[in-house]
Chains A and B, each alone.
Chain A
């Protein structure tokens, strides 16, 4: 099946640090990738839609200057949490969808646990 790889899986860093998370589609090309955030015991909330070669589309309430998204190739999207603070601590998950005809599900990476001290 389709594989989406996310790296790193766990990050612990000091407040004020910027953290970059990578999301790769390993065996397919993805013009669109999605970034979600999940707080403990809550649902996955879409943060932004990453579009290859163009600007990301952010959901309401998500600061685009805080969460920088770059989708420079058909297999890689990155999310950079700039000047991270403890309230940014969360589980960040990316997904991608195989392009093609008909209904295609989004496939998810294994997520990145971000802990800001």
Chain B
């Protein structure tokens, strides 16, 4: 039972344009959501998070949007840069300190 799903295994965008990565979840008990970036043979690097009491959180080029009624969150990267090319995982937990459930990941490729 995949409680966190990233339906797009890959995304390709042009440098300077917006990248939008999507994530859906099924467990209504999730109330803390995170995005991680991962390069091959490295651990995930934390990017940005959002609590369920918010619908938007912004940090520089990265913005996460949360739609609780739709059980959907998205990560916007603008402008996209070639160095952003990596696998992006969304993750969710019931409380901020508890176990994370990860999506399958989306490979983002930003073309120069």
Q: In the bound complex, do residue B99 and residue A103 qualify as a contact, i.e. CB atoms below 8 Å apart?
A: no
Q: Would you give the 0/1 interface string for B90-111, flagging 1 where the beta carbon is closer than 8 Å to chain A?
A: 0000001101111111000000
Interface-facing stretch out of B40-48, B63-71, B72-80: B40-48
* Chain A interface residue number, banded: 20 to 34
CB nearest to B43 among chain A residues: A108
Q: Which residues in B have some Cβ–Cβ distance to A below 8 Å?
A: 32, 34, 36, 41-46, 49, 51, 89, 96-97, 99-105
Interface-facing stretch out of A12-20, A38-46, A63-71, A76-84: A38-46
Most buried by B among A9, A32, A43, A91: A43
* B10 shortest CB reach to chain A, Å: 11
Chain A residues with CB under 8 Å of B97's CB are: 32, 97, 104
Interface Cβ pair total, 8 Å cutoff:
56
Q: In the bound complex, do residue A104 and residue B96 qualify as a contact, i.e. CB atoms below 8 Å apart?
A: yes
Q: In the bound complex, do residue A6 and residue B100 qualify as a contact, i.e. CB atoms below 8 Å apart?
A: no
Q: In the bound complex, do residue B104 and residue A43 qualify as a contact, i.e. CB atoms below 8 Å apart?
A: yes
Q: In the bound complex, do residue B49 and residue A44 qualify as a contact, i.e. CB atoms below 8 Å apart?
A: no
Chain B residues with CB under 8 Å of A34's CB are: 99-100
